[in-house]
Amino acid sequence: MPILAPSDKALVPFVSVENMMRLVHRIGIEKMLTGLADYIAADFARWELFDKTPRVASHSDVGVIELMPTSDGEAYGFKYVNGHPKNTKDGLQTVTAFGLLADVDTGYPVLLTEMTVLTALRTAATSALVAKHLAPKGADTMAMIGNGAQSEFQSLAMKAVLGLKTVRLWDIDKAATRKAARNLKGLGLNVVECDSAEESMEGAQIITTCTADKQYATILTDNMIGEGVHINAIGGDCPGKTELAPAILTRSDIFVEYPEQTRIEGEIQQMEPDHPVTEFWQVLTGAAPGRTSDRQITLFDSVGFAIEDFSALRYIRDHIPGTDCFLDLDLLADPDDPRDLFGMVQRATP
Amino acid sequence: MPILAPSDKALVPFVSVENMMRLVHRIGIEKMLTGLADYIAADFARWELFDKTPRVASHSDVGVIELMPTSDGEAYGFKYVNGHPKNTKDGLQTVTAFGLLADVDTGYPVLLTEMTVLTALRTAATSALVAKHLAPKGADTMAMIGNGAQSEFQSLAMKAVLGLKTVRLWDIDKAATRKAARNLKGLGLNVVECDSAEESMEGAQIITTCTADKQYATILTDNMIGEGVHINAIGGDCPGKTELAPAILTRSDIFVEYPEQTRIEGEIQQMEPDHPVTEFWQVLTGAAPGRTSDRQITLFDSVGFAIEDFSALRYIRDHIPGTDCFLDLDLLADPDDPRDLFGMVQRATP
């Protein structure tokens, strides 16, 4: 029993990791991925309305902690996310995240949620949304290069959003491929374990790269990429971390979330600062063309943007009412008389 | 029962408003104010070590939402705080706040806490710490002008940290003065209710102004301020909001937290951008003089700085172990195999 029952205005719904997983199962993971893609599409379509503050990063020798805020004028959201590559050797996550949504009109938080699971879902939903618009018509086979934490989410989102039938897995670590294949078993995809990157790309119209290399790596070389494919490049997402040979970038039409950020963090950090790119939201609104020919190579240089997190927070806010997948937290002080905070504290004397 | 018991690494201690009030009573409010002043002094003394990122503000027509991050290289902290003056007419708080502390080495959060009550405590502790160094020797009487939510905390911190004996209350709203006097009754201070600002300043060596006026106001005019006093100006804390006549600023030696911020938000927004000020941390380390004569007017132009919140977060982190004043939140995903986030989600199937 609380000492003083706070008013409902002072309570903030909190979605723990456990409850996020329960919510995923309650909704159904494919339905949730499709729903997230819809929310992201809706927010990308009103791109110009958003306050696009750059992320605020605090760097140390071993990692980075970032706050990624944004607002559409009605809701305000931010994500806390860290990146510590050395964590895995101590049994910790490289990346953990949580997020908050608040009401712009009052400044009161309306949702606090884990975002490690949610970020995996929104990243996959974004990739699938983009591929749906840019991949060649009838694309049903994907090479999934890098079979780490994102790979199953990517595969399932492509199935849910654009009807992917076959995923061809490859990883430098065979155990990762086996793990992904095991996880994807029975989920309605034809799963093929491959022994090389080249093999994984046989017959694939979509090529997703999501490897964990920290240094400039060349996961894809120029001669590996044929005409007409869509490349979904997830892993090149911070300064010094890229996966594609520059020659591939030169041959591709490149689509990005937010150029200011992608030029620093994405594959295109390898190119001149004025290398032409298309902002994906303009494809969605019709302001810019997407795929224009069968022979074109389209490349989504994905780094993850605050608006995608915002869409994910909105989705969770809209889908928890009526469920038992959240806990009300007494996060905000709410004295009866706003001038009498001290009296509220005094009256809490045991 | 959780579906999957998360490891302790994935749990983040959370201090709710209720538990913060319980912690205040468990420790004792005066001991807590003194302890907070000590933590703030310790952090001000190593000022140069801090990453002093400016706050990130998201403005709307009706208010502002801010993130205030900082780091000392070992811990990283931020505060979420809003400011919505119109909220009070809807029975909501103008300001609500919560904060987070994380481990820089891993990026993992180690504390999530309400910060509405905690901010009131740290603001008062900061004022008292500064007054202890700048007020004339033997100061034992304070004029408390503006008897809103901060006034009792200010009074009690001055008692705990520098031995204040008498507080002389005044507010344009007599009901606020009566509320403050009632709350302070029996706490060991001689409390005097006054009928004018002038009356409140009789015999006072410390003058604290903390009014809620949003516009440029003149709570103190030049002729009201005699020699040798210490002015603790709390209320002038955002652009367009000041309390003191410029002539008082001209006659005073002005001490600030962080000039870059104070010149925008503090009383000195009324002065030229190069008006001389002393950074208070330099007084603490001996790098700059504090009070140098009995006749000098010292002025603390307080706006509230991220390092004070950081000190407060550190204090709470250090004082909750062994108490029942927190709840462990399952905020971070913690799969056994970091690459197997999807498997963790799958295994949570009911």
- From B80-84, B216-220, B340-344, the region with the lowest mean pLDDT: B216-220
Residues 291-320 of B with CB under 8 A from A: none
Residues A162 and A275 grouped into a single domain: yes
Please report the pLDDT score of residue B265 as a whole number. 86
What CATH number does residue A207 fall under?
3.40.50.720
Q: State the catalytic residue, choosing from B72, B237, B301, B309.
A: B237
- My answer on whether A12 and A109 are in the same domain is yes
Question: Least CB-CB distance to A345: which of B24, B180, B342?
Answer: B24
For residue A271, give how far its alpha carbon lies from the nearest alpha carbon of chain B (Å): 30
Sheet holding A327-330, edge to edge: A56-59, A64-71, A75-83, A97-103, A109-114, A11-15, A327-330
Cβ burial A230-262 (10 Å sphere, 16+ → b, else e): bbbbbbbbbeebbbbbeebbeebbbbbbbbebb
Go through chain B and tell me how many residues it has: 350
ipTM of this predicted structure: 0.91
Residues of B in contact with A3 (CB under 8 A): 18, 21-22
Cβ-in-10-Å burial (0-12, 13-18, 19+) of B294 comes to exposed
CA distance B25 to B13: 19
CA distance B33 to B49: 24
Which of A269, A287, A304 is a domain's end point? A304
DSSP 3-state of A101: strand
Is there a single domain that holds both residue B146 and residue B105? no
User: Is there a contact between A76 and B92 if contact means CB atoms under 8 Å apart?
Assistant: no
Instruction: Count how many pairs of residues, chain A against chain B, have C-beta atoms within 8 Å.
Output: 260
Only one residue has tokens 């905070």, namely: A341
Select the residue from B4, B23, B122, B345 to test the A interface by mutation, using most A Cβ atoms within 10 A: B345
Nearest CA in chain B to A52: B58
pLDDT in tens, A184-225: 999 999 999 999 999 999 999 999 999 876 666 788 888 888
| Nearest Cα to Cα of residue B166 among B139, B126, B133 | B139
Residues 219-238 in B contacting A (C-alpha not used; CB under 8 Å): none
Dist CA B259 CA B279 (whole Å):
7
Compute CA A338 distance to the chain's CA centroid, rounded to the nearest angstrom.
Answer: 39
Q: Examine the domain organization and report whether B82 and B173 are in the same domain.
A: no
User: What type of residue sits at position A33?
Assistant: L
Overall average pLDDT of the B119-135 stretch: 97
Q: With 0-12 CB in 10 A as exposed, 13-18 as middle and 19+ as buried, what is B168?
A: buried
Residue B274: how many CB atoms within 10 A of its CB? Answer: 7
Cα separation, A79 vs A55, in Å, equals: 9
If asked whether residues A136 and A202 sit together in one domain, one would say yes
> Is the predicted pLDDT of residue A179 greater than 70, yes or no?
yes
Confidence of residue B91 (pLDDT cuts 50, 70, 90): confident
What's the distance, Cα to Cα, between the start and end of chain B in Å? 13
Domain membership of residue B45 (yes or no) is yes
Answer whether A187 touches B (CB < 8 Å): no
Non-local CB neighbours of A341 within 8 Å, separated by 6+ positions: A333, A335, B116, B117, B120, B149, B153
A49-94 residue pLDDT tens: 998 776 788 989 999 999 989 999 999 999 999 989 888 888 888 8
Look-up of token digits 């989504």: A300
Q: Residue A243: its pLDDT value, please? A: 85
Q: Tell me if B332 is assigned to some domain.
A: yes
Compute the mean pLDDT over every residue in chain B, rounded to the nearest whole number: 92
Q: In this structure, are B85 and B156 located in the same domain?
A: no
Say if residue B324 is in the same domain as residue B181: no
Are residue A224 and residue A182 in the same domain, yes or no? yes
Number of folded domains that form chain A: 2
Query: What is the nearest CA distance from B107 to chain A, expressed in angstroms?
Result: 5
Among A36-45, A157-166, A308-317, B205-214, the range scoring the smallest mean pLDDT is B205-214
Query: Is residue B246 in some structural domain?
Result: yes
pLDDT of residue A1: 33
**Backbone torsion region of residue A91, taken as left when φ is above 0, otherwise alpha when ψ lies between -120 and 50, otherwise beta:** left
Same domain, A163 and A283: yes
- B1 CB near a chain A CB, below 8 Å? no
Dist. CA A200–CA A204, nearest whole Å: 8
Same domain, B245 and B180: yes
In a shared domain, residues B141 and B288: yes
Q: Is the pLDDT of residue B176 over 60?
A: yes
- Distance from the Cα of B116 to chain A's closest Cα (Å) equals 6
For residue B64, list chain A residues with Cβ-Cβ distance below 8 A.
107
- Interval B205-261: pLDDT, tens: 999 999 876 666 788 888 888 899 999 999 766 777 788 889 999 999 999 999 998
| Distance, CA of B279 to CA of B256 (rounded, Å) | 5
Helices A17-27 & A306-319 angle (0-180, nearest 10): 70
- State the DSSP code for B315: H
In a domain, A224, yes or no: yes
Tell me if B295 is assigned to some domain: yes
Same domain, A221 and A90: no
**Considering only residues 14 to 33 of chain B, which have any Cβ-Cβ distance to chain A shorter than 8 Å?**
14, 16-18, 21-22, 24-25, 29
Mark whether B72 is an active-site residue.
no
Is B83 in CB contact (< 8 Å) with chain A? yes
Query: Could B16 and A153 be called an inter-chain contact, meaning their C-beta atoms sit closer than 8 Å?
Result: no
Would you state the pLDDT for residue A224? 86
CATH of the domain at B81: 3.30.1780.10
- What is the model's pLDDT at position A336? 78
Q: Write out pLDDT tens, residues B182-195.
A: 999 999 999 999 99
Boundaries of domain holding B30: 8-117+307-347
Report if residue A122 sits inside a domain.
no
Tell me the pLDDT tens digit for each residue of B28-78: 999 999 999 999 999 999 999 998 776 788 989 999 999 989 999 999 999
Percent of chain B with pLDDT over 90: 75
Mean pLDDT of chain A: 92
Q: Is residue B325 part of a domain?
A: yes
Q: Is the pLDDT of residue B144 over 60?
A: yes
pLDDT digits 0-9 by tens, A97-115: 999 999 999 999 999 999 9
Residues of B in contact with A324 (CB under 8 A): none
Let me know if residue A3 belongs to a domain.
no
Phi, psi dihedrals of residue A305, rounded to the nearest 5°: -125, 155
Residue B339 and residue A98: Cβ atoms within 8 Å?
no
Residue type, A60: S
Amino acid code (one letter) for B128:
A
For residues B83, B85, B89, B94, the Cα torsion angle rounded to the nearest 10 degrees is 30
**Amino acid occupying residue A296:** Q
